Structure formats: C-alpha cells, structure tokens
Amino acid sequence: MIEFLSTRNELHMTTEAGGSTTQSGIFYQNTVAALYLGRMLDPRISDLTQRVIAVRVEAREYVDDVLVMFADSHHRFIQAKENIDPTSGNKKWRKLWEDFEKQRWDTGFKDEDRLVIYLGKSDEWFSNLNSLCERARGARNLDEWQDILSNKTLGELECKIRQLLSLEHQNLSDSLKLLSVVEVEQKTLNDLESFVINWMPPNNKGEQILFSTLRDLCGKSARIKIEMDASTLCAQLKDKHNIELFPAPISIENNLITGSVCFDDGRPVEYACVRVIGLDLDQVNTGSDGYFKFMVGDQPSWTIQASYKDRFKEIKVNRKKIGQPIIIKFPLLASFSVDSPEENDEIPLGEKQTRVLEGSFPILADGSRLAETASVEVEVRTYPEGVPIIQNGECKISLYQGKWRYESAQFDGEGIYDVTATASIGKNEDFRSVRVNCTQKDKYYQRAIEEDLKIRGITRLPSTKPEDINLDRVRFQFKQILYNKQVEFFDYFSNNDLEHASLTINSTLEIVDQILPVFLPKFPDDLWLQQVRAYTFKNYAMLMRAYHRDDEFSRGLSEAEKTFKAIRDQDPKEAGAWNGLGSIAALRGDYQKALVYIDIALEINPQYEAALRDRETMLKYVRSECRNGFKNPFLKV
C-alpha cells in the first residue's frame, strides 16, 4: 500500500504489498492519484476548495482506492475502476455500493464530501447514473426526488441501486442522501492524461515528465517505506530526477473570466451548464442572459466547457484574453428535443395504432421570427428491419410556449420502433431519435391491472361468463355512483378529513375492482372505462401523498398519467385527457408544464369550465414561483 498523508505540513509515504487488483487497473488508479498529487504540489492554488493538502492511495477507509483531502476540509473518496459490470450479480459492483453506503453513514462524513466513481470508459448506463446523481443534488426535498424518479430510466436505475443497500437504507430518503453525494467521472486513460497540462505545477522538465514520475512513485515496490515532508519530496524530485518545481509568485493574482453562451444568431442560451475543466469550481447555470463568470487563480490558460441538452462546446482562454468577454456558441437547433416518449418507453396501442409525440422548441417561444421557417417532420421505422411506416400526422408548434406536438405518429402493431423527429429552421436541420416498444392496449391493460391488484393484495375477483359482459348495462349501473364517489372524495379531502377520504377511496376501489379487470381488457378504447382508471389512480395518489406514502403516490400518479396519455393518443381532440395530464403535472409540482397541457385542452374546448378553473390556479402558483425567484422558461405570466 502507498499512502500520501499530509499532517502539519508533513508528507508521510509508506508502501506495503497491494491486493489482487490487476496491473492495468492499478495503473489506472495510480494515474488518478498522480493527477491529484500534482494538484497538491502546485503552489499557485490559493482557493481552499481547490487546494489539495493530502492524497492517500489504498487509504484506510471503506472507499479505499484514492482519498483526496482539501484545505477547506472536504474529502473526495474515489473508487477507480478501469471497467466494471453494473449488475447485482457482480460481487465487485455490490462491494462498491456496500463501501459507499458505509462511507456515507460514517460519523466523520460531511455533506460537502463526495463519493466518486472514476470509470475508464464511456458507458450510457453510467451516464444515466451520473445524471441521476446530479438530479439528486438538485432535489430540494423528497417530493422533488419522487418527481425525478417518475422518469422511467432514472426510476429503474435508482431502484436497482437501492436494492444493493442494506435493509436499513432501502428507502427513498436514504437513497437521496446517498446518491446526492455520488459523482461519476467517465474518463479513459487518454482523457486523464490530457488533464496533465492543467494539473501539474510549473517545473523545469515539463508537466508530462513530472506526471510520469509521480505515477511511478505511486507504483513503487511494496517493500519500500518512505517518510518525508513536502519540501523533502520537492528536494527528492530535484536530486533524483532533476525536476525542480517553480515557486509560487509573490502574490497570486485572481483572474476573472466572463462570457456568455448564445445561439448562432446571438440569442442567449438559458440553462446551459458552464464549468472550468480541471478546477474544482462549482459549475454555473446560465440565466436568461446566458451570462457566466469564474474567478480563477493565475495559470497559463484555462479551458471553459459549456453543455446544453447533451451537447458540449469548449473554448480555451489564455492570459491575454483575461478581461475580454468570451462567447460560446451553440447551433439554433440545439434547443430542440423529444420529451415524450422517452427512450425505451412502452407505448400501448389502441385501435388506431397511434401515439402523440411531444417535445420542446424553446428558441421559438414568444413569437420569434424564426418560427416562420420552422417545422418538425416525424419518421417511424421498425427495428431492426428499418421498414418505414407511412406517416400522415400533423405537427403543431406553440410559439407562446416553445413546445411542439405531433398528432399522431403511426405504428404497425406490436414491436420495437425507432422514432425520429427532424426539426428545421431555414436551411438548418437536426434530428432526435428514441427507440420505443409498442404493446397492444388490451394486453397492456390486462397486465397493468393484474400488477396493481397484486400490489394491493387483491386476490378474489368476480367470475364472469361471456353472456354477462354487457358494458352498456355496467355503465348505466355504475357511472353516476362513481361520479358521486369522486365528488364525495374531494369534499372530504379538501377539508383535510383523511379518514373519510380514505374510506371513500376504498369503497371506490371495491367497485372499480369489479369492473375494470373484466371489461377494460375487452374494451381497451372505451373512454369511460379509461377515465375511471385514470381518475381513480389520480385520487388514490393524492391520498397517498397526504399519508406520506411516497412510493404509492408515485405509482398511482404514474398509472394515471399512462392512462390519460392512452386516452389522448386514441383521440388527440379529447380535451379531458389533456387537462388530466395537466393535473398530473401539477401534482408533481411542475405548474408550468401543467399550464401547457391545460392550454391545449382549452385550445380544443375554450368553454371547458374545469380547465378554466385549473388554469387560474396554475397561474397563481407560477406567479408565486416567480416571486420566490423561480423563472418560467417558456411562459410569460
């Protein structure tokens, strides 16, 4: 084991025999450690959040690959893996999360500390994991965490991670606490070595030679045991390797880098993420003016990276450009996205075999002149054959909200499809693609109902004969009863009488459980049956949130949303389905998205009283958000 531990300005180094890690993996781990050693020896760094005071390799911690300590007392606990299979059956993968869990709940762990996975390859699974962890850090409470996990990809990933934890921490609150301190760095060996120029201090031999020397030092024989302070290490580098570190300037100058992120035509980019590569500075999210700034210590140059909707742009700034605003440009169509369906979504297909597509086109908001030449074309192909399905739908672009929807994409039965939306503005063109799995709606509802009954522990259902299935008779018998139950529920719920609201929901479910398992799979396009399912689940979700049963709240809301979308997909002119989706968005706290859906409902039916009332309510919430510092990116209120 090699240990680098700074205590009272001393650097102690000891080496002992290592474990069973492969030589290739050890080389990758030592590369990571050598970069932080270079940072530790750099006299130019004055920012306490960036200045490394100690680096331990094979540390005496639960997370033991590399431990980095900073002058502001926060730590980075690093597991460096050249490659790892993220499956529950992989012992190394389970061990990694076991160690992360123990480290997170160790008494000495601080909120500012980070658990870091360095991965020696680029992998979509780990990109999703990093996205999940970033979203966790942005979640202000458990409700927002629930909203984040309503995303199918992120929700399934979080569930897989949570199942690796001990029973004590297998809950959403603790998964948020853990994942909010996890970072994923996907860096190949070449990527790491490209950082050398910015991570090594100035010296007479150059950054590469110093870096190689430090990496070799990490890989010294396990029998050697060396103790020295930092000045002795510098002397050793000079005497044994003829490497002389240049001292820090008498006064370290802080440099202000300012600039803006914009589109090709000069429009500012809002919500772009900007960071300085190689420095542990917090990233900056641009506002409506696209502006950003960083205060950095003196060095020959800095690399600024901006990301926007999974696109990246970099620009190098040298000393001569300090004081001059820099501009990072993105193409106009970088703002275009497909929001629904998402990658690998399951789409239940009704009789018409269609699905409404939704997406964002925020650069067109507020009646931009760009909209005069804007369009979106949709293509659907079978996978893997690539056979195109003829499309006759219509795309609608909302200039007011910066949204687009396609009514409707045509499919050809069950199977996997590639859906491609191509946007154009003038002569500029770009596309986004998602792969989806289509299921016939009768099979989808059959499976969904069975899963729900199993979760709720319902086993006894009515036995029916073919001659008993008379939908008109059932509708006549139960339609008014279920409507009265809904009115009764809201009377109790609005008065915070949860006991009677719960009794009403339970009696409603008893009726619904007699109807839907028998009729919905046989009449999957029936509007009333689907409305019964959607509104029952929505009301159930509201009750579960009131009881702080977060998992059931999320499940109920998700099922309601899927059913409202199924209604909308079979008939995009069904205003109630759009308004129902608005209710779902509102319950998740996304009032701006709720307004988008409610406005579509009112576009279809301007006299829709429920939607008019809902819109007034959403406007109040959005105004409240704006007063509290939140800004709606698409809607002027």
Tens-digit pLDDT profile for residues 57-106? 876 778 878 888 888 889 999 999 989 999 888 899 999 999 999 999 99
Give the integer Cα–Cα distance in Å for 321 and 525: 63
pLDDT (tens digit, 9 = 90+) per residue, 565-583? 999 999 999 999 999 999 9
Give the integer Cα–Cα distance in Å for 14 and 223: 9
Position 223 pLDDT exceeds 60: no
pLDDT score, position 298: 77
Give the integer Cα–Cα distance in Å for 70 and 55: 9
pLDDT score, position 439: 96
Q: What is the mean pLDDT of residues 131-148?
A: 91
Q: What is the mean pLDDT of residues 213-236?
A: 61
Q: What is the DSSP letter of 121?
A: S
pLDDT score, position 16: 39
Q: In this prediction, what percent of the chain has a pLDDT beyond 70?
A: 89
Q: What is the mean pLDDT of residues 405-411?
A: 95
- Of the candidates 421, 426, 425, 399, the one whose C-alpha atom is nearest the C-alpha of residue 408 is 421
Position 382 pLDDT exceeds 50: yes
Position 633 pLDDT exceeds 60: no
Q: What is the pTM of this model?
A: 0.58
Position 31 pLDDT exceeds 60: yes
pLDDT (tens digit, 9 = 90+) per residue, 231-261? 666 777 888 888 888 876 544 456 888 899 9
pLDDT score, position 623: 75
pLDDT score, position 53: 82
Choice between 251 and 39, residue whose per-residue pLDDT is larger: 39
pLDDT score, position 345: 94
Position 585 pLDDT exceeds 90: yes
Across 270-304, b (16+ Cβ under 10 Å) vs e yields bbbbbbbebbbbeebebeeebbbebebbbbeebbb
Nearest 5°: phi and psi at 187? -130, 120
**Encoded tokens for 624:** 């409240």
Domains annotated for the chain, with CATH where assigned, are: 1-82+187-251 (no CATH), 84-112+121-182 (no CATH), 254-330 (2.60.40.1120), 346-439 (2.60.40.10), 441-627 (1.25.40.10)
> Which segments of 197-239 are extended strands (E)?
225-229
Q: What is the mean pLDDT of residues 386-410?
A: 90
Q: What is the chain's mean pLDDT, rounded?
A: 85
Q: What is the mean pLDDT of residues 268-273?
A: 88
Strands laid side by side in the 354-360 sheet: 337-340, 354-360, 403-410, 394-398
Q: What is the DSSP letter of 325?
A: P
3-state helix, strand, coil split of the chain in percent (to 5) is 45, 25, 30
Give the integer Cα–Cα distance in Å for 485 and 476: 15
Position 11 pLDDT exceeds 80: no
pLDDT category at 632 given cuts 50, 70, 90 is very low
Position 221 pLDDT exceeds 50: no
Residue 247's identity, in one-letter code, is P
Position 20 pLDDT exceeds 80: no
Q: What is the mean pLDDT of residues 14-40?
A: 72
- Give the H or E element holding residue 312: strand 311-318
pLDDT category at 224 given cuts 50, 70, 90 is very low
Contact, 569 vs 354, CB < 8 A? yes
pLDDT category at 220 given cuts 50, 70, 90 is low
Give the integer Cα–Cα distance in Å for 581 and 600: 10
Q: What is the mean pLDDT of residues 509-515?
A: 93
Position 374 pLDDT exceeds 80: yes
